[in-house]
Structure 1
Amino acid sequence: MKENIKMALQSIMTNKMRSILTMIGIIFGIGAVIVIFSIINGNTENMKRQIIGGSSNSIKIDYGPRKSFLSGNAKSDKESKPDYTPTISRNALKQLETIPNVTAASLYYQEHPYIFIKDQQIDSDVFAVDNRYFDIVTYSLEQGRFFLSQEYDRMTQVCLVSKEFAISALKTENPVADFIEIAGVAFKIIGVLSAEMEEEAGKKVFLPIESALLVQQQYNHKPTILLQAENSEDLERAGKLASVTLTGLVPPSNYIFSIKNSDDIKRTTKEINQSNMVLLGGIASISLIVGGIGVMNTMLVSVTERTGEIGLKKALGAKKKIILWQFLTEAIVLTVLGGIIGLISGLIISKISTGYLGYPFIISYFSIGLSVLFSVSVGIIFGFIPAYRASKLSPIEALRYE
């Protein structure tokens, strides 16, 4: 085998241009597979993040009637609601952050109370957030400042507003130091935020979480947990584990912590993967077959050119098996070299392409394994016919060939 590999490398070096042109087909074929897998996997991951966890790769765990989660309709509120407010401590959130692949956990309350600016009523959502919320949901500061650490732990009458709220409701881009009234309590605006992700845009007001107690008559204190994971594949599993943990922290009732529309998430993710695999199979097959035909064509030419050499070896006693393995090894070496170059090139181009498109770069070990398998398979399958043809040549006819 070593001798066959050495002879194959010598043949490749002797016919450099032809070998390079042949390998180009393999390089493009393998590179195309790697790039296609990376781009579609990146796009799939991007879509999953949008569908499952949004751009922040997070998932919401809500508190509501058990039946509403089972039916996938969290609007149902027919079951009797407990007469207490579920208390989720910071220690409980830290416990959630120990779940594998979970990077952060945040508690917040969302409500739609009465907001007044002087005598004008404003329509807007109000979020009472803890100190991890803005680590998960990213906003950039347009004016003023964020909450101080001590403001999260005290009932301070300060708030942040979104840029949309400032322009639409306050008619200014810099309302810092102005006051708004929420449920009869005055709050000073200390900053204006701009959403970095489109799904987080809109008219919003943010309070430190303890300040929600100042307007608690307008809040039902129905908590929402925001859980962030390393990637979308881990979100649902982490959300289920977190839901069980959170439900165990409150007294047993018809109300539980759970994820909305879990079955829809599974179905949508499965459909995305299936459709992408069908697309990949078609494109990859065409690229790989074209590369394989190029190898076979080159090996057929090589057999024709070396007919005299084959005849001489057979006259000296070389068996069909030796001739077969010689040319088969050459085809395999040629395709493996092209495969390695294509693999490296494909990974480099994939990194650049996904970065340009704004997709996460995901190394597909399946596509790498497929590339390695293809490189060897092409050498065997498309190299077999020329190698077999060479082994069947008659020594006398081969020696007479010019």
Structure 2
Amino acid sequence: MLENIRLSLQGILSHKVRSILTMLGIIIGIAAIIAIVSTIKGTNEQIKNNLIGSGNNTVNVQLYQGESPYDFSYQAAPDGVQVVSAEVRDQITSLKNVESASFYRTRSYCDNVYYQNTQFSGSMYGIDAAYFDTAGYEVQQGRGFLSKEYTNNAKAVILDSTAVKSLYSSESPIGSVIDINGEPFTVVGVVTEVSRFEPVINSEEDYWTYMGTSGGKMFIPGQSWPIAYRYDEPENCLAKAVDTDSMPAVGKKVAELMNATIRTNSVGKEGDSNQIKYDSQDLLKQAKSLQKLSSSTNTMLIWIASISLLVGGIGVMNIMLVSVT
């Protein structure tokens, strides 16, 4: 046995160029397989993260009418949908795989919000104290809302960086006054997303999906929402899951708890095309669908790499045959 090993090593060392070329064929083939498989896995994860957005594992549970989100910008609050009670809030925040949860109201488009003579064209949010941490925002200028401002109907507003760019030129927004439906709100801070998602725009539909709120976002305390808009308006829930794979289950469970508070006879029965209910968009399911669509391309790449490895193997067999002969 030792003699065979000695002869093998002697043969390798006595034909250095042939040995290096033989090893190179195997190395390139195996490296190609590893690189392509790693690329496929990385691409699939990137598809998942890009579709979900900033990657902070948040699930948005909204009020829907049929297949579309219920828009309070032009629709009255539906009968039978109540404000989320403290008991339901506690049940949601204590759910398995829920790291935190926030409850908020929103307007996708604001037509009576101005800074001086400039109209705001973004979205308005009435938030609670947990919203910024759950959604992944951090204070860039000024400050966040004080604890008392969440409870005493304070006329304070926070802008995101996009809203600042759309409303202000070079001056600082801190301390300025925003007119929201005839009510003066003082700007106390500017926030920005910790991890920002930059979507790829390929069509007009993509533009309105991702850039429909290009004017930015404004945030006011949830208790101050009735000052500018309506009393007892239903809320949405933003729940943060412990990981990406837990998001579908978290969204489903949160929607179930919130739907249990709705009076079915007022908003339509299950299966009605205009039924009003809380639902979560299953982004993870969409990501898996995109991954499935790319599987044919991935399979082709693996076959190409396998052929490279096979060709390299045939070359090695030929060299071994010559050496043995």
Match of 1:226 among 212, 215, 238: 238
Following superposition, the deviation at residue 220 of structure 1 comes to 6.4
**Corresponding letter in the other structure for 2:180:** I
The structure-2 alpha-carbon separation of the partners of 1:123 and 1:285, relative to structure 1 and needing over 3 Å to count, comes to closer
* CA distance in 2: counterparts of 1:286 and 1:126, whole angstroms: 52
* CA distance in 2: counterparts of 1:80 and 1:156, whole angstroms: 23
TM-score by length of 2: 0.72
Kindly name which structure, 1 or 2, has the bigger radius of gyration based on alpha carbons.
Answer: 1
1:214 paired with 2:227, answer: yes
Query: Corresponding residue for 2:63?
Result: 63
Following superposition, the deviation at residue 131 of structure 1 comes to 2.6
Matches within 5 A, 1:3-152: 11=8, 15=12, 17=16, 18=18, 21-53=21-53, 55-65=55-65, 68=66, 72-74=67-69, 81-83=78-80, 85-89=82-86, 92=89, 95-96=92-93, 98-100=95-97, 102-111=98-107, 112=110, 114-117=112-115, 122-152=120-150
* CA distance in 2: counterparts of 1:136 and 1:99, whole angstroms: 16
Asked whether the 8 Å contact 1:139–1:193 carries over to 2, the reply is yes
Following superposition, the deviation at residue 300 of structure 1 comes to 3.3
Query: Corresponding residue for 2:271?
Result: none
The structure-2 alpha-carbon separation of the partners of 1:141 and 1:36, relative to structure 1 and needing over 3 Å to count, comes to farther
Asked whether the 8 Å contact 1:93–1:105 carries over to 2, the reply is no
Query: Corresponding residue for 1:317?
Result: none
The structure-2 alpha-carbon separation of the partners of 1:8 and 1:131, relative to structure 1 and needing over 3 Å to count, comes to farther
Q: Secondary structure at the match of 1:85?
A: coil
Asked whether the 8 Å contact 2:124–2:217 carries over to 1, the reply is yes
Match of 2:278 among 257, 261, 267: 257
Q: Secondary structure at the match of 1:15?
A: helix
The structure-2 alpha-carbon separation of the partners of 1:124 and 1:52, relative to structure 1 and needing over 3 Å to count, comes to closer
The structure-2 alpha-carbon separation of the partners of 1:121 and 1:275, relative to structure 1 and needing over 3 Å to count, comes to closer
Deviations 1:157-199 (A, max 9, x none): 2111123333433444411111223233322111123443445
Match of 2:258 among 246, 260, 275: 246
* CA distance in 2: counterparts of 1:90 and 1:119, whole angstroms: 44
Query: Corresponding residue for 2:157?
Result: 159
The structure-2 alpha-carbon separation of the partners of 1:91 and 1:152, relative to structure 1 and needing over 3 Å to count, comes to farther
Q: Secondary structure at the match of 1:226?
A: strand
Q: Secondary structure at the match of 2:173?
A: coil
Matches within 5 A, 1:151-300: 151-195=149-193, 196-198=196-198, 202-217=215-230, 221-253=233-265, 254=267, 255-260=276-281, 266=285, 268-300=286-318
Asked whether the 8 Å contact 1:243–1:257 carries over to 2, the reply is yes
Asked whether the 8 Å contact 1:162–1:193 carries over to 2, the reply is yes
* CA distance in 2: counterparts of 1:15 and 1:42, whole angstroms: 38
The structure-2 alpha-carbon separation of the partners of 1:110 and 1:249, relative to structure 1 and needing over 3 Å to count, comes to same
Deviations 1:85-116 (A, max 9, x none): 3215386266356333x443222110236324
Asked whether the 8 Å contact 2:158–2:187 carries over to 1, the reply is yes
* CA distance in 2: counterparts of 1:176 and 1:147, whole angstroms: 13
Structure 2: gaps spanning 5 or more residues: 199-209, 268-275
**Corresponding letter in the other structure for 1:296:** I
Q: Secondary structure at the match of 2:294?
A: helix
Q: Secondary structure at the match of 2:100?
A: strand
**Corresponding letter in the other structure for 1:106:** S
Q: CA RMSD in A?
A: 3.8
* CA distance in 2: counterparts of 1:156 and 1:181, whole angstroms: 14
Structure ranking higher in helix proportion = 1
Q: Secondary structure at the match of 1:59?
A: strand
Structure 1: gaps spanning 5 or more residues: 308-402
Q: Secondary structure at the match of 2:83?
A: coil
Asked whether the 8 Å contact 1:138–1:197 carries over to 2, the reply is no
Share of identical aligned residues, percent? 23
The structure-2 alpha-carbon separation of the partners of 1:34 and 1:146, relative to structure 1 and needing over 3 Å to count, comes to farther
Kindly tell me the number of residue pairs found equivalent between the two proteins: 294
Asked whether the 8 Å contact 2:125–2:220 carries over to 1, the reply is yes
Deviations 1:287-321 (A, max 9, x none): 222223323332333233234xxxxxxxxxxxxxx
Structure ranking higher in strand proportion = 2
**Corresponding letter in the other structure for 2:223:** E
Deviations 1:218-270 (A, max 9, x none): x662312123335544333331122112222445453321125x5x974x435
Asked whether the 8 Å contact 1:53–1:232 carries over to 2, the reply is no
* CA distance in 1: counterparts of 2:124 and 2:251, whole angstroms: 24
The structure-2 alpha-carbon separation of the partners of 1:64 and 1:37, relative to structure 1 and needing over 3 Å to count, comes to same
